[in-house]
Chains A and B, each alone.
Chain A
């Protein structure tokens, strides 16, 4: 495989919630088990974090009839490897880099655990590992990519809900699947990830608005750096006003010059 931009396309209409992707990810990457606790849902993973780089989200929605009071949508969530990545933007150590596959990777030997990337990630993907003292997230199976292998999650997915390939190819696959679903009358189907953050490397086919899957809408998908200029500008204006206040308060009042 040539080193070209790669991507996932996760088709939520094909996901059956088996969590094979989660297990494969944990096995390949040596991630620890989750504590055995009941969360009141089949979604006992909870969220993406340092130990869960794939998370099958169980989205409970109102059903269509009394026989089916609840309808589930499953979505295997993952780091989006954004083209304009918030985490990479704020990282002060340059521990977060873009790889030759155009994915976003945290160098574990460089990260010093400041957690600025966690505050910046709009998807809540990155977790802090208190054992290693570093931030961790999906590596897109960087080691497998370097050895011409598919990421573990895409390899394990039994329904091909998770597809992997060159990013352009994934975009075409997503667009074709969207057309098919629209022709079948699933009018609410939509692609998430073709516009957000300059284009995501993890595209999703959704059957509801993004917020239902805990994804920010296109309008809300904004970079942290948007607040740089307004923040510093307000501070500068405050500094000028404070300096004037100091001048008024501290000025000599008819006293002798030094």
Chain B
């Protein structure tokens, strides 16, 4: 139940917003790449490779943003190593601590799958990459992907839990943020893959399946948005009041228009092809922005 709050905001702003946005897409892209590889047809291999190739560069930006946001950026490593004892710092009940470790481990999986995807696709003809490329089709590779996808799910979702595990209004008044950020991150990942698959005939054959998946992710996101607003109770005015309603309109446009367009091919064909993915991405960003900024206003 939402209670009264007498707190001050942590001033997590633009760097954190961008980090939450990129972490959702990077984690989501890895998950989609894995699902396409596990359950898709051979024709979906190119889209799967594209998903892994998209995931890693976006992930690389995440620690940069997080480090810049610190008051003492040169002490970023204090998140991982205890300054006094030199032993690892790990606190399972602190989502920030858990998240730093999750991000580090996901980075390993994302990097290896990036190399494997580049190797399998033959984009760089290095012997070491050809070896990595063989990982994509092997049983070991699939196990590796599944473990990486679990970390991908985590990286896309934990940012919501991080906000909830606080005493800030809005964030701490709901249990929905982890799921909501995950659903919207997956939708944003599909949109990113669709954008990059443009002009690539081998990857574009999977566009139909990706759009079908996106419909489900958007429906899931809308359900979680409704639950988010319901669970806020009296605090809901803080996220809906004032100018924040404009960002919510952007969120609605970024979910409903793509949902309808992906359902109705006739409508989709009337729109320039980049419109739907771009609307999704703007909606994903707006959702995080309204949740991050309205609670701290």
A residues neighboring B (CB under 8 Å): 47, 49, 86, 89-95, 109-116, 118-124, 126-130, 132-135, 211, 214-217, 219-220, 222, 224-225, 227-228, 230-235, 237-239, 241-243, 245-253, 255-258
Total residues of chain B contacting the partner, CB 8 A: 74
Specify which chain B residues have a CB less than 8 angstroms from the CB of A243 in the assembled complex.
35
Q: A234-B178, A235-B161, A238-B182 are in contact. Are A93 and B89 (CB under 8 A)?
A: yes
Q: A92-B94, A215-B6, A230-B175 are in contact. Are A128 and B71 (CB under 8 A)?
A: yes
Please report the C-alpha to C-alpha distance between residue A89 and residue B165 in the assembled complex, in whole angstroms: 10
Cross-interface CB contact of B72 among A124, A133, A216, A250, cutoff 8 Å: A133
Known: A118-B9, A250-B36. 10 other contacts (CB 8 A): A92-B79, A92-B91, A93-B78, A118-B8, A216-B3, A216-B4, A227-B175, A231-B177, A233-B175, A250-B44
B residues neighboring A (CB under 8 Å): 3-12, 31-32, 35-36, 39-45, 69-73, 75-76, 78-79, 82-84, 89, 91, 93-97, 100, 137, 153-154, 157-158, 160-168, 171-172, 175-180, 182-183, 186, 209-210, 212-213, 216-217, 220, 224
Please report the C-alpha to C-alpha distance between residue A207 and residue B45 in the assembled complex, in whole angstroms: 70
Cross-interface CB contact of B178 among A89, A135, A238, cutoff 8 Å: A238
Is B167 touching A224 in the complex (CB atoms < 8 A)? yes
Specify which chain A residues have a CB less than 8 angstroms from the CB of B180 in the assembled complex.
238
Q: A119-B12, A235-B158 are in contact. Are A224 and B165 (CB under 8 A)?
A: yes
A138 to chain B, nearest CB (A): 15
Specify which chain A residues have a CB less than 8 angstroms from the CB of B35 in the assembled complex.
243, 246-247, 250
Specify which chain A residues have a CB less than 8 angstroms from the CB of B44 in the assembled complex.
250
Interface centre among A90, A91, A114 (most CB of B within 10 A): A114
Specify which chain B residues have a CB less than 8 angstroms from the CB of A126 in the assembled complex.
8
Specify which chain A residues have a CB less than 8 angstroms from the CB of B10 in the assembled complex.
115-116, 118-119, 128
List the A residue with the shortest CB-CB distance to B157: A235
Please report the C-alpha to C-alpha distance between residue A153 and residue B175 in the assembled complex, in whole angstroms: 40
19 contacts between A and B (CB under 8 A): A90-B165, A110-B84, A112-B78, A114-B96, A118-B8, A119-B163, A124-B7, A214-B6, A233-B175, A235-B154, A235-B161, A241-B220, A242-B216, A245-B220, A248-B216, A249-B209, A250-B44, A251-B39, A255-B43
Is A239 touching B153 in the complex (CB atoms < 8 A)? yes
Is B12 touching A115 in the complex (CB atoms < 8 A)? yes
Please report the C-alpha to C-alpha distance between residue A175 and residue B218 in the assembled complex, in whole angstroms: 57
Is B42 touching A255 in the complex (CB atoms < 8 A)? yes
List the A residue with the shortest CB-CB distance to B91: A92
Cross-interface CB contact of B42 among A119, A215, A256, cutoff 8 Å: A256
Is B161 touching A113 in the complex (CB atoms < 8 A)? no
Is A224 touching B91 in the complex (CB atoms < 8 A)? no
Please report the C-alpha to C-alpha distance between residue A255 and residue B93 in the assembled complex, in whole angstroms: 46
Specify which chain A residues have a CB less than 8 angstroms from the CB of B39 in the assembled complex.
246-247, 250-252
Please report the C-alpha to C-alpha distance between residue A97 and residue B69 in the assembled complex, in whole angstroms: 23
Specify which chain A residues have a CB less than 8 angstroms from the CB of B82 in the assembled complex.
94
Is B89 touching A94 in the complex (CB atoms < 8 A)? yes
Please report the C-alpha to C-alpha distance between residue A157 and residue B166 in the assembled complex, in whole angstroms: 34
